[in-house]
Amino acid sequence: MGKLKSPSMRSMQQLLAGFKLEDKGGHITREFQDYGFRLACEMGEEDKKGMYIKLAKTVERATLERARTFIKDAQTVHNRGKLFLWAVGRLRKGLPLTPD
């Protein structure tokens, strides 16, 4: 007896062909690379993704997350990347995130 296929049944290849994965540009193979790339996108500095990937590799994740949260909570930010790097620098020195 042959297999009966419903007209609505599609192969897995047909199902997956309809989905496009986001091209992140380059070969991201490690978690810190993905995190750095996402940080660069969130700060609006995709052209500086290498710097953010380096930060994600070398700086504690808790520090980066605190700086990221600080940026998200900021009301008016003209340059998210610059403020993010300022916040990371302050946190690494053990200083509070308030301007002097």
pLDDT one digit per residue (tens) for the chain, 100 residues: 556 556 677 788 877 777 766 665 568 889 999 999 999 999 999 999 999 999 999 999 999 999 999 999 888 889 999 999 999 999 999 999 886 6
pLDDT at residue 61 in the model = 96
The gap between the terminal CA atoms of the chain, to the nearest Å, is: 81
The pTM of this model reads 0.70
